[in-house]
């Protein structure tokens, strides 16, 4: 009897260990595709991975990304599965506070529950880093009213990604990766007052976002990626080299390095297929000029 029980334990344990490492590996893929690293690491100032503190400037103030390492005191080490799901799906922290949409829960809400839990398992497998979160630096009018809560309740609709049966598996995978994980639209879509995305210009580029122009990634011939082939897009995801032979820099360089280039080719291709299927939007993003120093003095 005892021998049998022991045998059962011996047989079951490795299976559980494997199941756990499979989950962590699945979570690592979600982590890479969702590009958590770039914003949650203050790499410009030598910050440790996922310890937060990176400055995110916007017209609605300056945000500092929080610590998402599994440190119990300053990170998310004490979060339950449900805490994690609520943050990702609904944009609400375990203490009931609402997140500002600088955290793209507006995209992550589309993630499947299993992927969220895998992501949590991966994050919890990483070393905890002690680093106190820094308060956002927001204008007075946003601090005196519960602006994040109002925004969330008024403009945000939580909900998981729905497969489109009329499209191929590859397209659906690409749509899921782009919408729920890679959250491309968050930067590539222009917004109107209060940060609401302009729906008919989704993915059509932004003239200026934190000092950078963000290109139109709809397949419009002259102003977007219409001339790019699927292979050209895959190559860009792998290398950062554009159709003209230029090499991307700024924020997109980090996204290529930390996320896109790390994905399996099948996922890179799926995202390219999805982007090429978007409705082309004619929206030219023009280069801006830096002011001549003399002009600034005058």
Partner 1 sequence: MRNSLMALTLIALTATGTAAAMDAEEVIKYRNSVMKAYAGHTGAASRIVRGKVDYKDQLGFHATAMRDISLLIEGLFPEDSDFGETRAKAEIWSKPEEYKQAMKDNQQAAEAFLKAVNDGTADAAGFKAVTDSCKGCHDKFRAEDD
Instruction: Tell me which residues touch partner 1 (CB under 8 A).
Output: 211-215, 231, 235, 238-254, 256-257, 285, 287-293, 295
- E strand or H helix at 223: none
Upper half-sphere CA count for residue 52 (Cβ side, 13 Å): 22
Q: Which two tokens stand for residue 46?
A: 């030598």
Record the tokens describing residue 71, joined without a space.
Answer: 């440190």
In DSSP terms, 105 is beta-bridged to none
Q: Are 61 and 151 in contact (CB under 8 A)?
A: no
Total length of the chain: 298
Matching residue, tokens 């017209």: 59
Q: Which is nearer to partner 1, 22 or 208 (CB)?
A: 208
Give me the least distance between CB of 256 and partner 1, in Å please: 7
- Rounded CA-CA distance 175/160 in Å is 12
As measured in angstroms, the least distance from the Cβ of 184 to partner 1 is 15
CB nearer to partner 1: give 44 or 169.
44
Token duo for residue 40: 């949650």
Q: For the chain, how far is it from start to end, CA to CA, in angstroms?
A: 91
- Closest to partner 1 by CB, 83 or 210: 210
Least gap, CB of 212 to partner 1 (angstroms): 4
Q: Residue 37 in contact with residue 31, Cβ under 8 Å?
A: yes
How far is residue 88's CA from residue 74's CA, in Å, rounded to a whole number?
18
* Beta carbon nearer to partner 1, 24 or 252: 252
- The CB-of-178 to partner 1 minimum distance in angstroms stands at 20
Nearest to partner 1 of 16, 244 (CB atom): 244
Look at residues 169, 171, 167 and name the one whose alpha carbon lies nearest to residue 179. 171
Least CB distance to partner 1 at residue 56 (A) = 16
Residue closer to partner 1 by CB (options 76, 214) is 214
Distance of closest approach, residue 232 Cβ to partner 1, in angstroms: 9
């Amino acid at each position: 009897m005892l021998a049998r029980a022991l045998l059962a334990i011996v047989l079951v344990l490795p299976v559980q260990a494997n199941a756990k490492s499979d989950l962590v590996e699945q979570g690592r893929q979600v982590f890479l595709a969702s590009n958590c690293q770039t914003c949650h690491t203050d790499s410009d100032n030598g910050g440790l991975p996922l310890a937060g503190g990176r400055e995110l400037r916007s017209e609605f103030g300056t945000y500092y990304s929080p610590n998402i390492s599994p440190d119990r005191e300053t990170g998310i080490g004490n979060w339950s599965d449900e805490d994690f799901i609520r943050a990702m799906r609904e944009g609400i922290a375990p203490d009931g506070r609402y997140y500002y949409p600088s955290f793209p829960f507006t995209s992550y809400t589309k993630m499947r529950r299993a992927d969220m839990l895998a992501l949590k398992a991966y994050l919890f497998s990483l070393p905890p880093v002690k680093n106190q979160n820094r308060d956002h630096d927001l204008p007075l009018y946003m601090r005196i009213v519960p602006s994040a809560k109002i925004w969330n309740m008024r403009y945000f609709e939580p909900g998981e990604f729905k497969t489109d049966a009329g499209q191929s598996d590859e397209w659906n995978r690409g749509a899921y990766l782009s919408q729920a994980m890679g959250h491309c639209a968050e930067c590539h879509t222009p917004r109107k007052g209060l940060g609401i995305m302009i729906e008919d210009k989704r993915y059509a580029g932004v003239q200026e976002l934190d000092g950078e122009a963000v290109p139109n990634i709809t397949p419009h011939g002259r102003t977007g990626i219409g001339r790019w082939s699927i292979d050209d897009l895959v190559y860009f995801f792998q290398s950062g080299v554009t159709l003209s032979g230029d090499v991307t820099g700024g924020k997109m360089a980090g996204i290529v390095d930390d996320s896109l280039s790390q994905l399996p080719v099948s996922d890179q291709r799926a995202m390219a297929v999805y982007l090429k299927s978007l409705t082309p939007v004619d929206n030219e993003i023009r280069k801006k000029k830096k002011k001549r120093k003399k002009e600034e003095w005058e």
